[in-house]
Amino acid sequence: MAAKPKLLFVGDSQPEQRQVLEQLRESFEVVQVPSPLRALSRLTREPFAGLYVASEHLGGAFQIGRLLQSERILEGMPDGIVVLDSENTIVWGNGRLREWTKKESVVGANFYTALGSPEILGPDFCPFHTALATGRPSNSTLRSADNRYFHVHAAPVFEGGTTAHHLIVTVRDVTTEMLQQQKLAAIHQAGVELADLMPDELSVMSVEERIELLKKNILHFTKDLLHFDVVEIRLLDNRTGKLEPLLAVGIIPEAAGRDLFARAQNNGVTGFVAATGGSYLCEDTASDPLYLEGCKGAKSSLTVPLVLHDEVIGTFNVESPEPRAFSESDMQFLEIFTRDVAAALNTLELLRAEKATTAQESVEAIHSAVALPVDDILNDAVNIMERYIGHEPEVVERLQAILRNARDIKQLIQRVGQKMAPAQAHLDLDQSQSRAMLRDRRILVVDADESVRSAAHNLLERYGCVVETAHDGGEAIYMVRNMALEGNYDVIIVDIRLPDMTGYELLLKLQEVMDPVPLVLMTGFGYDPGHSIVKARQARLPLYGELCKPFRLDQLLDTVERMVRRPAEPAAVAGGQPSGDAQQ
C-alpha cells in the first residue's frame, strides 16, 4: 500500500475543525501545528504535499507565503535573519548562520549554542527574554570565541493575541567596526602614554633620556599597534623650511640623511606633505613621480603631516615592500595617532628648550656670581700694579699674569655657556646675527652702583661683548692704562657722577692716556647736575654718545654698536632719550 502524502495543517483542534481533520486524514498523513510560525519551521525542514490553514490563521499564512517567496532574497542578504521561539530555538533562518557557524543546518538548534555560546556584551544581557516579556524590540552585542562580534536585534511577533511567543532576530556581523573602535581606543591610549612619565621617573631622568624614551615609545606603538615596520619622522625647521630627521627605522642611510624641504616640488612625498598639509597615499612607488626611495625595495608608502594647533610641524612616513599595502583606514588610523605624536614631539621640543634655557640660566647665574668679583680682582691688581711700575718689574709681571688669568676665567665661562645653551635658546637667531659686530668688543663700564655694573655684564655679554667694570674714575684710568698694553677698550661707558670726579673730568684725564676716547656718558633719567655733557660740548671734546639708566636693552645695544661702527668720527651727542623703562 502506497504511503499517503504529507499535509501540513495549521490550526487548533477546535470542534469545527475536527470534521475537516477527519476528512483530510482519509487521504493524507496530516501533521498539525498550532501557528504559522510553527508551520514555517516544519516547512523549512520537511517536504509536504500541501498546506491547510484554518481561517483564523490566514493572515499569518499569507506572511509565511511571502517569507517563503522572499527566501532567495533573504539568503543573499549580508545580515542573518532568524525566527526564534520562546526557548531561543531557531524556527527558521535565511542560512547566513550556516556560513558563520559552518553547519549544514541550524534550524532546531538553540541560537546561542549555534554561535558557540558567545559572550553577551550588552547593553541588554537578556535581549530575547526582554523582547518577549516587554513586547518591545531589544538589542545587544555578542562576542564569539574566535573574537567575532555580532549585533542582534530582536523584535516580538504577535500572532493574533497580546502575548508574543516568537521573535524575528536580525544578526549583523560587526567585527570590523568593533575592531576599529578597539584600535582607535588603543591609539588614543598610546597617545596618552607617549610622553606620560610619573614625577618620580622624571626626577631621575635626564632630558636626553626623556627624549630617547619618547622616541622609543613612538616606535613601539607604531610597530605593535599599527604594524608598520618602516618608519621615518622629520621635524620642520620653520626658519629654514628644512625637514630635519628625528627617527628613521628601515630607511636606507642615503635617504635618512637626504636634505628635504617643505616644498611641493623636488622634495619627494615628504616635502609635498609638509608643504600642502595633506596626507599622501602612494600605492605604487614605481609609477609615482613624487616618490623618492626611502626603504630598499619599497612598493608603497603612506605619509601624513604632523600637525599641532593647525600648523605643520613635521611629517610621519611609513613604507612597505608590498604594493598597495596601505588603505584609507590605515591613513585614518595614522592621522589619529600622529595628532598625539605631534603633541608628544612638541613636548620633546619643550624639553630641549627647557634644557637650553636652564643651561643658559645656570651659566648666567654662575657668571653673575663671578663677574663682579673678578672685576674687583682686576681693579685691585691694576691699583697695586700702579704702585710698582718702574720699581718692581717682577711684581708687575706677576700682577699682569693675574690680570690675564682673571680675564681668561671670564672668557672660559662665556665659551662654556655658548656650548651648553646656544644663542637661539635665549635670543632669536636673526636678532643675534644682526648684532654680530658686538662680539668680542671690549667694554669698560664705570659706575659706583653695583646694579648698573651687573646689568652691563648681563645685557652686553649675551651678545659676546667682553665687559669689565670700575667703581670710580681713578680705577677707570688704571684699567684703561693697563688695557693699552693689549689694545684699547672699544667703548667706555661712564656715569656723569663718580665718587671721585665727574664724567667730564674723567674724559679730560683719559685723553692723556688714549686718543680718541670712545666715551659714552650715562645720566640717571637725563639728570646732569655737574653739566658734564654741556661742558664736553662747549669744549668741543670728542663725546660719542649719551645713555640713560636704567638701561633699555635696545638703546644700550644701539649706542654701543654706533660706537663700534664709527670710532673715529665723533658725533655731537647721539644716544637715547631719558627713559623710565626697567632694566631688561
Between 216 and 235, the higher pLDDT residue? 235
> What's the whole-model pTM score?
0.42
**pLDDT value of position 72:** 54
Tell me, what CATH number does 522's domain have? 3.40.50.2300
Residues 236 and 322 in one domain: yes
Residue 583 has pLDDT above 80, yes or no: no
Residues 194 and 215 in one domain: yes
Residue 427 has pLDDT above 50, yes or no: no
Domain boundary among 69, 97, 120: 69
Residue 426 has pLDDT above 90, yes or no: no
What CA–CA distance (Å, rounded) separates 25 from 474?
Answer: 139
**pLDDT value of position 548:** 76
Q: How many CA atoms lie within 13 A of 243 on its CB side?
A: 32
Between 234 and 570, the higher pLDDT residue? 234
What cell does 491 get? 667703548
What CA–CA distance (Å, rounded) separates 575 from 562?
Answer: 9
Whether residue 108 lies inside any domain: the answer is yes
What CA–CA distance (Å, rounded) separates 182 from 153?
Answer: 22
Residues 222 and 82 in one domain: no
Whether residue 398 lies inside any domain: the answer is no
At 166-220, the pLDDT tens digits run 888 888 888 877 766 766 666 566 555 555 554 455 455 565 666 666 667 676 7
Percent of the chain at pLDDT > 90 equals 16
Residues 191 and 282 in one domain: yes
* Per-position DSSP letters for 315-368, written without gaps between them: EEEEEESSTT---HHHHHHHHHHHHHHHHHHHHHHHHHHHHHHHHHHHHHHHHH
Residues 215 and 296 in one domain: yes
Under DSSP, the state recorded for 93 is E
What cell does 146 get? 574566535
At 470-487, the pLDDT tens digits run 999 999 999 998 888 778
Between 41 and 394, the higher pLDDT residue? 394
Mean pLDDT, all residues of the chain? 75
Residues 434 and 551 in one domain: yes
At 369-388, the pLDDT tens digits run 667 777 887 888 888 877 77
At 305-332, the pLDDT tens digits run 998 888 898 999 999 999 898 888 888 8
What CA–CA distance (Å, rounded) separates 522 from 548?
Answer: 5
What cell does 535 get? 661742558
Average pLDDT over residues 530-548: 60
548 neighbors 455 (Cβ within 8 angstroms): no
Banded model confidence at residue 422, pLDDT cuts 50, 70, 90: very low
Residue 538 has pLDDT above 90, yes or no: no
Number of domains in the chain: 4
Residue-number span of the structural domain to which 218 is assigned: 181-354
Query: Could you tell me which of 184, 216, 229 has the C-alpha nearest to residue 334?
Result: 184
Between 411 and 141, the higher pLDDT residue? 141
Whether residue 377 lies inside any domain: the answer is no
Name which of 3-7, 15-19, 332-336 the model is least confident about: 15-19
Whether the upstream peptide bond of residue 422 has omega within 30° of 0, thus cis, is no
Name which of 153-157, 257-261, 326-330, 539-543 the model is least confident about: 539-543
**pLDDT value of position 207:** 57
Q: Which amino acid is at 33?
A: V
Query: Could you tell me which of 29, 4, 32 has the C-alpha nearest to residue 18?
Result: 32
What CA–CA distance (Å, rounded) separates 169 from 132?
Answer: 12
Whether the upstream peptide bond of residue 123 has omega within 30° of 0, thus cis, is yes
Residue 280 has pLDDT above 80, yes or no: yes
**pLDDT value of position 579:** 36
Residue 81 has pLDDT above 90, yes or no: no
Average pLDDT over residues 76-83: 75
Domain boundary among 322, 354, 386: 354
**pLDDT value of position 514:** 86
What is the crossing angle of helices 328-388 and 175-194, to 10°?
Answer: 0
Domain boundary among 19, 46, 69: 69
Whether residue 98 lies inside any domain: the answer is yes
Whether residue 413 lies inside any domain: the answer is no
Residues 277 and 165 in one domain: no
Q: Which amino acid is at 9?
A: F
